[in-house]
Amino acid sequence: MNVLLIDDHFCAREGVAFLLKQIIPELQVFEAENFDDGLALAKQTPLNLVMLDVQLPRKDGLAGLAELKAAFPDLCVVMFSGLGDRELVFHALRLGAMGFIVKTVSRQVFVDALRDVLAGKVYLPASAVGQQRATSLDVGSVTEIPEVTDSASLGLTPREFEVLTWLVQGIGNKQIARQLGIEEQTVRNHLRPIYQKFGVAKRTELLVKVFERGIVFGKPGVGN
């Protein structure tokens, strides 16, 4: 498996590379200090994952993300930033990112996030899936958003609602199935009508749509 780290800070790249090799020792880690060098590497080397810093010299990470996804639509790209506000996170998802890791998280949270991403899951920081969001950056006030507890209010069946509640935590189908005590194929069967009802075609689009509609879920329940 080949992973590319694009970050203009040497220490950040070395730290992430070290953690990645701890998780999967056989990983081949490539490094670039700017997007153009990273893109050149991506064109020369088959990659499984790109970790892309948001704040880069010359071309910022979000512009780079759009360019990467245009050139390599199926490439898994995870954004890496010192900032993790909801709008930034979901803007990255709209551009095609499969996850967003905030640099200020603890070592264990960072390792867990990397494990999730490498397992094919969508990882989102707590700031993106929590129950609060800032309504005014000038004042810094935070407004409580009511939790949605009624499946019918979203046009979903109770089981579809349960699946969606777990999905917004950023976990994969297999783990959702385990949490609900159902088969993985059953999870996929429930996802199809959920996508249709929200007018989306894939998981990341659904997460963005949930955010844009201001939908907040409580703690997911565990199935029988």
Of 60, 93, 128, which residue constitutes the final position of a domain?
128
Our separate counts of H helices and E strands in the chain read 10, 7
* Residue-number span of the structural domain to which 27 is assigned: 2-128
> Considering the domain boundaries, does residue 86 fall inside one?
yes
- Kindly state whether residue 222 falls inside one of the protein's structural domains: no
Q: Is residue 140 part of a domain?
A: no
Whole-number Å distance between alpha carbons of 49 and 117: 9
Q: How far is CA 82 from CA 20, 48, 54, 58, 102, in A?
A: 19, 23, 8, 18, 5
Same domain, 160 and 109: no
- pLDDT, residue 223, reads 56
Q: Please check whether residues 118 and 158 belong to one and the same domain.
A: no
Residue 171 and residue 90 share a domain: no
How many domains, in total, are found in the chain? 2
Lowest mean pLDDT among 66-75, 126-135, 215-224: 126-135
Asked whether the whole model's pTM tops 0.75, one would answer no
Same domain as 72, residue 35: yes
The two three-digit tokens of residue 178, written as one number: 């385990």
Domain boundary, last residue among 68, 94, 128: 128
pLDDT tens for 57-93 read: 889 999 999 999 999 988 989 998 888 777 788 888 8
- Where residue 74 sits, what CATH number does that domain have? 3.40.50.2300
Q: Is residue 201 part of a domain?
A: yes
Q: Are residues 79 and 120 in the same domain?
A: yes
pLDDT tens-digit profile of 177-216?
A: 999 999 999 999 999 999 999 998 888 888 878 877 767 6
25 part of a folded domain? yes
119 and 158 belong to one structural domain: no
Show contacts of 189-195: CB within 8 Å, 24+ apart: 190/159, 190/160, 190/163, 191/163, 191/167, 193/157, 193/160, 194/156, 194/160, 194/163, 194/164, 194/167
Residue 142 lies in a domain: no
- Give the CATH number, domain containing residue 157: 1.10.10.10
Residue 224 included in any domain: no
Domain presence at residue 19: yes
